[in-house]
Structure formats: structure tokens, C-alpha cells
Structure 1
Amino acid sequence: MGGDSVRQFLLMVNDLTEIKEKLKPVREYLETEKHSDVLAHVFLGDWDSEHARTVGNVLLDELPNIKVMGTVSSGEVYEGNLAPTNYLIVVSVFESTTIELLTYHTEQGAEASCADLLSADIDSHPDAKALEMYASVLNFNFQTLLEHIRYENKTLPVFGSVVMGVTKENSTAFILAGREIILSGVIAVLYLGEDFHIHLEQVFGWKPMGLEMKATKAHDRSVQEINDKPAYDVYKHYLKIPKMENFLTLTLGFPIITKDRGVEVLRVPHGCDDDGALRLSADIPEGSTLRLSYGNLSEIYNEVSEKQESLRQFAPQAIFLFDCAARKMFWQMGIDQELFPFQRLAPTCGFFCEGELKSTEDGLIVNHQCSLVAVGMREGPEVEMPPARKRMEELKFFTDSSIMKRMGTFIQMTTMELEEANRQLVELNRDLNLANAKLSYMAMTDGLTQLFNRREIEQRIHQALEDARDERSVLSILMLDIDFFKKVNDTYGHAVGDIVLKDTADLIRSCLDEGRGHAAGRWGGEEFLVLLPNTGLAEAMQLAEKIRTTVESHEFHQAGHRTLSLGVTATDGAEDEKQLFIRADEALYRAKEGGRNQVVVVRENPQIE
């Protein structure tokens, strides 16, 4: 290596047995190359604390002088892409920089004392060039701790992450410091040395909409009331978002914008209580002003390009990304489009977290959400880098069409209420029209069959059940399966199988009456689901039989004649969709067990015809 530089080793790990073997290149490098310190970042995915402790032990046994810090994560970034495994170890080797690893245990009521200790440790290292910190906040108020941190060097760059466990089912948040697991506390790394340089950038991409509101009742990561009404009413009234198990997936495109000590921050509700209180991963203090916002993928990508150029001028040797798990959910399959541009500058790694920490110019450490913090590192002087190469291919968007629909609902509602919002509404309309043209059809349809995808047909059935309850009407559903479809693929190949799927979808569609609200979706594999609002069992059975005979009489390319098994059921709305699906699946099962190529009905209530 010529001159000081940061050398990174990115180790993707599938299980614990691989770690020693994958550390060999690191050990060989350390035995032959000059270095001042070594730091391992461990991004643990859904490993539990005992697995994490084992990782720490293996790293320290194999590389005794290494410093180890780690955290649970919601996905990892490897070479500028979403990592295919859930576990990533990043070993950074420094030529002149030294590392100080600090740990702090704390609990409710001890936040100020912990903040004082951390502040004193920072001040005892006047040569510190940056501070990285991870917090596991199960048993204390992290916002209180942040507000009490006060150190002399206000320009010290601070970055890191927060874990709370809200995005993981049945798991406990924790952080790793060497061989130690910390369930409630903070770990911090001070980067020390004259030749160490760091540059922080942050990407948002959400735009405010509507007038300001006030959190009139809020406490402990929960907002009970906004403008003296249940907080959920904001999402219900403006965006028609229902209380459902997937509440987070519906709201992540519309986080709340508020301020933390004068700094604009985003907060995503991850749940809604029966009383209308919104559950959050970070505080919104009572009395705070707030607004709704909406996600704009074009804006996000433009910001990424701007931050990429700023980092290019810094000339990093390594880049760490702290990306919000909500952004990954929002981008869906397109998340690499905000990650990979940084890989063009330097080796890029990182992880998805529940909160991103970044300091301000006046020394405040702020807990963000829905943001991407990019950290460029370098040892030695700045070198000139070539201009960043622009992507020539068209930017592809992957998001949920319901976001576009709810934006339309918001526009309709606010138009009636807000005379002063014209400028914002024009901008929203422009973005909506552009995004609709690219997203709407793609996001709610199955790419192969052009029927609705599973998410869309589920949402339509959920709404149809609500309508049936309100209108006291009956709806039916059909669950269909192509008989012996595996044999088609095995005999003729998947290309012919795809033709059979597409032709079957066309035949199903030809039997439906869209004017009556009939809708068909691909349920998965060779299964389809048909929604028939305001349709009783007798009519549904006739339509099912029509579909069966239509498919039976059709001759498919190379595959010849094929048949369908169909399950039929109906409801008056007195049950949820899960029960309805179970009954339809039972009917389909009976049809297949009874010899296939037939229609079978399972009734909820003998009186429903």
C-alpha cells in the first residue's frame, strides 16, 4: 500500500463455522502489512445474543488486538448492494488511526449520568476526529440521553444507529462490544489520529404536505392526540389507511415530519392502538408541530446523486451506509438504486437500522428515521477522483400503488380544507401524474399474467368485505388451481408453463364482468383467486363452472388440453378475510382430492345462497 489508507475486508457469513476460514486473508494481511489498529463492525441480522457473543469471541480469539462493535440489523449492504445473506463482518485496517472502544450500561432514570460519562470521555480525547455510537434502548429513554450529551468539540462528527426491536418479531434488541452483549446501553468508538478524515452526508427524499398540526398529547414514543383528536384520525381522514396488521407498510410512504431541537426529523408510525394512539420508534414531544410527508423516489435518487458528488470531492477510501429499514421497505426490490452509486466511489458496506444518528454543526446528536447516512472515511491527504459515472439506464421504481392512491385521496381531502395549499397541491399533482404513469400498473399487477398481484387482490377483498358489512350484501370468491401443472413444466419446460399460466389468466378474465366489480388475481404459482362482489353462491358456482369448461375446451400451445380445480365460498361480511381464504382453500382442496377438474363449494352459513 502506498501511503496511509483504510483497508477494508467485507466478510459475508452464512453460519458461525465459516468465520475462522473467512478471517484468513485478514490475518495474513495483518502479519505482513504495517497497521495501527483494527476495527470489526458486525451486522448480525436476526442472530440472537448468544450467536453474537460467539462471533465476538471468535474474532478476538483469531485477532487478539481487534476492536469489535456490532448490532442487530434489518439487512446488510455489501459492495453497494443488498447483501444476499443476513450476516456481515466488516474488518477495517488503519495505518495510522487508533481506535478507542467505550461501553456504557444504563437504565431508566440514569440517562443523564450516562450522558455525562460519555461527554467526559469525548472531552478526554481532544485529538478525536469522529465518534461512532450504537445504542440499544429497551430500558431507557434515548432521547433524554441525547439531550444531555454535551462535549467541548462541537464540530466533532458523530454517526451511528439505534436498535429498539420494533421491526423484528419475537426478538430482543442488543449491541455487541468485544465479547460483551449490552441489552440496554451504548457503545462508542472514537477515531483518533491526525491523518484520519471523515465526511458525513444524509439523504431524505420525503416532502411535506398539508398544513402544520400539533401533537396535543404524546408520551414515551407514542402520540395519542393530534389537534385534540385521536392521532390515527390523521391517517384515516387524509389517507384512508385502515387499522391492519401491516399498518407500518401502509404508513411508511407517509411519515410524520417534526423537529428535534430545531432539526427536521421524520417519524414512522409502526403501529396503532385501539384508542387511536400512534406507536413510534422515537419520541415526538407533546406540543411539537408536525406535518405529514410523502415519499418521492425521484427526489430520493436526485439527493443520492448530489451526496455522491459531495463524497467524491472528499475522496473516500471506504464508505459506510446507515440506512433506515423503512426505506428498504419503501423501495422494495429497488433499494440497490440508492446504495450502489456510493460503491462507484469506494468500497461500500453498511446495514439497515431502526434509527440513524448524525450530529449537527453545533454539536447536537439527532436520532433520525427514514434517512440514509453515508459516512466517507480516509487516511492521508485528499486525492483527486474522476467524475462519478452516470447511470445510462432508466431508473426503475418499485413501490406500492396504494401510495399513489392515498396521495390522490389526500389531495382530494385537503383541496376541500386548505385554500393556502395550492402551490403544494400543484407540486403533488405533478409528482403523482409522473409516478402514476410509471408505477400504478406495474405495482398492482402480476408481471407474467397481467392479473392483479396477491397484495392488490388481498386489499380489494379486504375492502369488499367492509362494503359487504356496510351494505349487508353477499360476496363470493373462487380459488382456482391448474391441475397437474408441475407435469407441464417437467414435460415441456418452464417457457411452455408460462404460456399456460398467461393463457389461463386470459381465459379467466374473459369470463368476468369488470362492470360488476369482478376481479382476478394470481395467488401464487399456478393458483388464482377471483373476487365477485354482490354475488351469491348460486351465481358464483355458475361462473366457476363457466371458467372450468372454458379452460377445459381450450387447447394450449404444446401442452394440449388442461383442466382446473375450483373452490367456491361466499360470505355476508361477518368474518375477516383470513377465515374466508381458509374456507376457499378447503373447497379447493376437496376439489383436487375428489378427482380434480371440478367445482366444490364450502359454505360459511347454509342461509347464504
Structure 2
Amino acid sequence: MRQFQTIYDNKDQFVRELGEWKETCKGISENRFVFHIFSDKAPESDVKEVLGIIDRMMPEADLIGSSASGNIYEGCVTENPIAVSATVLEHADSFFRTRQLIVSDMDAESIEGELSAMADDFNGVKAIEVIMTIDSIPIRKICSLLKQYLPASVPVFGGGAFGDNRHEAFTFVKNGEFSKRSIVFLMYGGEDFHIANTYVMGWKPLGAPLKVTKAENKVLYELDGAPAFMTYQHYLRIPNDENLFYNALEFPFAVTVNDRVVLRHALYCDDNGALTMSTDIPEGSVLHLTYGDPETILGNVKKSAQHIVSFAPEVIAVFDCFGRKTFWGNNADASKETIPFHSIAPTYGFCTAGEFVRLKGRDEEIMHHNLSLVIAGMREGGPMEKEIIDKTGDLMQPDTTMSLVNRLANYINTAKAELVEANRTLSILAVTDRLTNMYNRGEIQRQITERINENLLHPDLDHATTLVMLDLDNFKKINDTYGHAVGDEVLRKVSALIRESVEKLRADAVSGRWGGEEFMIMLPGYDQKAAAEFADKLRKDIASLEFKELSMATASFGVAQAQ
């Protein structure tokens, strides 16, 4: 597997370089070449000129491409208008296939039909690269459908074609159209084709969790019952102005989707404080504000690079969210994330409007990420021994002022965690009897009242509730004869037995210390007869307890069913 790469400057330069690539691969058929062409705001006429040159000089070669917010050239994040890469398959049984799915005016059912019709195209593939025009198609639905129709556990990697209010996002394939509502697939396969893919995040949670109390599709209306924008305004002093997009990009929201944490960022805000997000956030989700931590980001890059090194790829695809470039502030610092991979093998890729990944061997939905770095290492045949210049040692903090920000954020998060833990402990203490570790009278009374009120509100439902009260016999005599230490031992052993017995019942059965030597048990779903049977068994178990100085303890029981 080989790769060539250039920046398109003019027709003569590109014709010359393409001729050199052909000469280097003399003897390899043109249909073993697949080109990637990524355009960062280049005129469409220039992109079409590149396609025309490839078609004239290598008519059997295939190609895909899209709009971008920067190109990965020689491992660096650049703003060259057009980057062209050619990947060459050298093993006889390796193959690739390209397809473009135009989704203009399609509903979900039509998209599903088109994917179903492509089923044969997916046969035998071992990896799939996808590029989508994210803003113009139903991403969540498409990711769900892709899981249904793509081969199980086949790794997926790719990104979103970039567009803004001046340049619409688009994708294209050979002999296809420049479509603003489409998905491009590049499928790799063959016995000798191998892949290892991964992704990098690096954003850390900031502050307390936030509940999505109102949302619809991409619009996030309320967090914790307040307009969503108030989170940015109140905690971060971010104004609702023309810079909101870039300011909010530094503090995206983290949300858990299919047991994986993904990031979502705000695009803009309306006059009522509703945020339009980069993709859907379901109502009821729990979010965290996050901040980019350079140390964590570069540490994760290093781990991912070391993972890819062990795979020994021949070509590496890099899909780097444009938001990461914005976070670093300049291309030189942004390239600190991508250069280490180019030191392993030749890279190609672009700065995306979102990223897609399904890791190798995982039969799960294709995950749509924001602000991530997706990496896919590919090779033909077994791993080759070669010298690799390890650039991961250069992943140092570029700006010492960031360290202060990180320390302050760490202080806030640590203080918050300690406060949450302290409040949790206080909440437990407020409802717990110290000696027996059971609910205290106030809490058991509250739960009984809540249950009885529920019975009154829903008399048509079967909500039988029975209370069991027990009183240790002659407990004052035990204290007077043996001392309070022995009395406390009796209370602890009896309460432990009660808790253990109740825990074996329904999850909503509860027990507590009513006062002194009295205990209360609430048994939802038990009628008086069943509760009496439980009480009688518990009475016998208490009588069989063993104590150091006391021969035995007994208890008297009372049972009452709520009417």
C-alpha cells in the first residue's frame, strides 16, 4: 500500500506530479489508485479541473472528495485550497469501492431503501470510510440505519464535509455530482487488507451536571428548567452575539450516547435563549459543560499514536474536527496533534465539521462525534519492520499560561466533587440512625406517609401495604443488668438481621428504628396474612441470635394492613 500527496497549485504543476506518481508505480494498474481531493474554499472550477486532469491521465482510477475547513498535508494542519492524495493498493486481492448516496428530498424510508439496495456493495468489505454533508441530512437516523445495513463489527471512520454561511458543504465521487445533501462511501476489502482505528478527545467536565428539560431535534430549549443559553451567560459570561459560535466552541457539552461520551457544541442562539446544537440532544439527557485541556489532549494523542505504531500501518487517514484547530488558535499548535501520526506512515485527511467512528470489532452504532480526532491506520499484508521517528516526545504544553487555567479548572472540579460528596454524606446522615445504620424514625415515617398517600390517590390499583412493628422484650432489664454496651450489641445484631431479612423481599420494602428498642417495617404488596408469616419467621430468627453475655433476646410483633 502506497500513498502520494500534493497541494494543487496550477495545472502544469499537477500534471507533472501526477506523471511522476504514475512512473513510480509503473506496472501497477490505474484501477488500483483511489484519489482523495479535499477543497478548503477553492473555486469549484479549480476542483473540477483537478478531476478532469485525473480522468484524462488516469481514466481507470477512482476518486472521492469533499469540502473542508483545512487540509492535512504532510501531517500538518494547513489552509491550502486543494489537497490531493492518491492511495495505491499493491496486493492482488485487495480492493476498494466508491459510492455516493444522494439524499436530497428523501425521507427516512427512502434512505433505508437506498441503503438496502447497496447491500451487495458492502459484501466482503473490511473497513468503510464515510464523508457526509452533516448539516443537511438526518445524521442520527442515518447512523442508526448504517448499523443495520453495514456488515457487523466492520470499522467505520470518516468526517463531515465542512460548510458555512458563505460556502455550502458538498461531497463528490468520480462521474458523480457535487452534492450538498449526500454521503460518500469508500469501502476497502481483501484478505490482505488490515485496519486499526481509534479516536482522540481530551475535553474534561466542568461544573455540576445539567438535565435537558426541554429539547426538540437540534434545538436545546432548557437546561434544569432555565433557557439553555443561561448556562453560558451565567457561568462563563459568554454573550449572545456574533462570536457565540466560537466562544461556545471552547466549552462544548458532553453527553452520553450508547454508553459513550460524545461532545456537542452550540451553533447559535435565538432571542429566547434556545441553542441550536451541532446535532440532536435527546430530552432527558444529562450534560456537562467541558473545557479543552491541552495536557489531556496531547496525552491522549500520544497513547493513540503508540497504539497505531504497534499496528505498523502503511497509510493513515486523519479526520480532525475544525473545532480543535480553533481551540489551538493556530495551525502550528493544531499540528502537534497530527504530526505524530505522519511520523508513523504517510497521512491524508481534512479538518471536518464532525467525525464518524465505529471501532474495529465492535458491533455498535456508528458514533457521530464533535471536536474529536479520528485516526485509521491501514496496511496490506503483515506488519513490516521499519524505522519510525517518534514525534510523541514533542507533545509538550505549548503555552505555560494554559497550566494556570488547567490548575484553576482542576481546583474548581475538585472542590465541586468534594462538596457533592459532603452533601451526599450529610443527606445520608440526616435519614440514618447512627447506632443501627437503619433509617431513623423521621425517614421511615416519611416513606410510610408517601406510600399511604399513593394508595389513597390510586384506590383502583392493588397497592396492599402492611406495617410490621416489633418491640424487644424486657430491653430495660437488659440494660440495667448487663449494661448499655450489651444493650447496644443487641440493638445492632437485631437491626442487622431485620435489614438482611427485608432486603430479601421486594426492592421497595423498607425498615427503620422507630425509637429505643422499637423497629418498624413497611411491606408494600403484602397483605396482613403474608406479613404475619414474615413477622413470625423474623421472631424465631431473633430468638436464635447469639450474644456474648446474654442467653437470648426475644421480641413482640404487631401487624396492621392499610385500609
TM over 0.5: yes
Structure 1 residues 404-413 or 326-335, which shifts more? Answer: 404-413
Write the distance in 2 (CA, Å) between the matches of 1:338 and 1:295: 13
Task: Extract unaligned runs of 5+ from structure 1.
Answer: 1-5, 424-609
Cross-structure match for 1:294: 291
Write the distance in 1 (CA, Å) between the matches of 2:218 and 2:406: 25
- Given candidates 64, 88, 108, the residue that maps to 2:83 is 88
Maintained 8 Å contact 2:192/2:381: yes
Q: Which SS does the other structure have where 2:23 is aligned? A: helix
Cross-structure match for 2:376: 375
Change (3 A) 1:163 1:287: farther
Give the Å deviation of 1:351: 0.9
Write the distance in 2 (CA, Å) between the matches of 1:407 and 1:269: 26
Maintained 8 Å contact 1:239/1:406: no
Maintained 8 Å contact 2:3/2:88: yes
- Given candidates 156, 159, 179, the residue that maps to 1:158 is 156
Cross-structure match for 2:17: 22
Give the Å deviation of 1:141: 1.4
Q: Which SS does the other structure have where 2:279 is aligned? A: coil
State yes or no: 1:335 paired with 2:334.
yes
State yes or no: 1:175 paired with 2:171.
yes
Q: Deviations over 1:505-562 (max 9, x none)?
A: xxxxxxxxxxxxxxxxxxxxxxxxxxxxxxxxxxxxxxxxxxxxxxxxxxxxxxxxxx
**Paired letter, 2:420:** E
State yes or no: 1:185 paired with 2:186.
no
Q: Which SS does the other structure have where 1:290 is aligned? A: strand
Cross-structure match for 1:551: none
- Given candidates 201, 204, 211, the residue that maps to 1:204 is 201
Alignment of 1:241-320 (within 5 A): 241-320=238-317
Change (3 A) 1:251 1:422: farther
Maintained 8 Å contact 2:30/2:59: no
Write the distance in 1 (CA, Å) between the matches of 2:200 and 2:266: 20
Structure with max Cα Rg: 2
Give the Å deviation of 1:318: 0.9
**Paired letter, 2:156:** V
Maintained 8 Å contact 1:313/1:384: no
Maintained 8 Å contact 2:207/2:412: no
Task: State the TM-score, normalizing by the size of structure 1.
Answer: 0.63
Cross-structure match for 1:397: 398
State yes or no: 1:229 paired with 2:226.
yes
Q: Deviations over 1:224-252 (max 9, x none)?
A: 21122111111112222122322222222
Write the distance in 2 (CA, Å) between the matches of 1:385 and 1:272: 51
**Paired letter, 1:205:** G
Alignment of 1:341-356 (within 5 A): 341-356=340-355
**Paired letter, 1:32:** G
Write the distance in 1 (CA, Å) between the matches of 2:393 and 2:183: 43
Give the Å deviation of 1:31: 3.8
Change (3 A) 1:143 1:25: same
Change (3 A) 1:33 1:110: same
**Paired letter, 2:338:** L
Change (3 A) 1:392 1:127: closer
Cross-structure match for 2:537: none
**Paired letter, 1:358:** V
Give the Å deviation of 1:325: 0.1
Q: Deviations over 1:57-104 (max 9, x none)?
A: 322222101111001101111111123623200011111322111111
Change (3 A) 1:147 1:84: closer
Q: Deviations over 1:334-369 (max 9, x none)?
A: 111111111121112221001111014123111111
What CA RMSD, in Å, does the superposition of the two structures yield over aligned residues? 2.9
**Paired letter, 2:152:** K
- Given candidates 322, 327, 333, the residue that maps to 1:325 is 322
Maintained 8 Å contact 2:344/2:390: no
State yes or no: 1:75 paired with 2:70.
yes
Maintained 8 Å contact 1:112/1:145: no
Cross-structure match for 1:10: 5
Q: Deviations over 1:166-212 (max 9, x none)?
A: xx341111111114211111111111211111110111001122332
Q: Deviations over 1:551-587 (max 9, x none)?
A: xxxxxxxxxxxxxxxxxxxxxxxxxxxxxxxxxxxxx
Cross-structure match for 1:502: none
Alignment of 1:459-538 (within 5 A): none
Maintained 8 Å contact 1:332/1:398: no
Give the Å deviation of 1:33: 3.6
Write the distance in 2 (CA, Å) between the matches of 1:307 and 1:84: 25
Alignment of 1:124-143 (within 5 A): 124-143=121-140
Task: State the TM-score, normalizing by the size of structure 2.
Answer: 0.68
Higher relative contact order (CA 8 A, sep 6+): 2
State yes or no: 1:41 paired with 2:36.
yes
Q: Which SS does the other structure have where 2:20 is aligned? A: helix
Change (3 A) 1:123 1:266: farther
Write the distance in 2 (CA, Å) between the matches of 1:338 and 1:258: 24
Give the Å deviation of 1:408: 5.2
Write the distance in 2 (CA, Å) between the matches of 1:398 and 1:48: 36
Give the Å deviation of 1:140: 2.8
Alignment of 1:535-546 (within 5 A): none
Maintained 8 Å contact 2:134/2:353: no
Write the distance in 2 (CA, Å) between the matches of 1:152 and 1:245: 41
Q: Which SS does the other structure have where 1:345 is aligned? A: coil
Q: Which SS does the other structure have where 1:370 is aligned? A: coil
Task: Extract unaligned runs of 5+ from structure 2.
Answer: 424-563
Give the Å deviation of 1:421: 6.6
Maintained 8 Å contact 2:69/2:79: no
Q: Percent identity?
A: 30
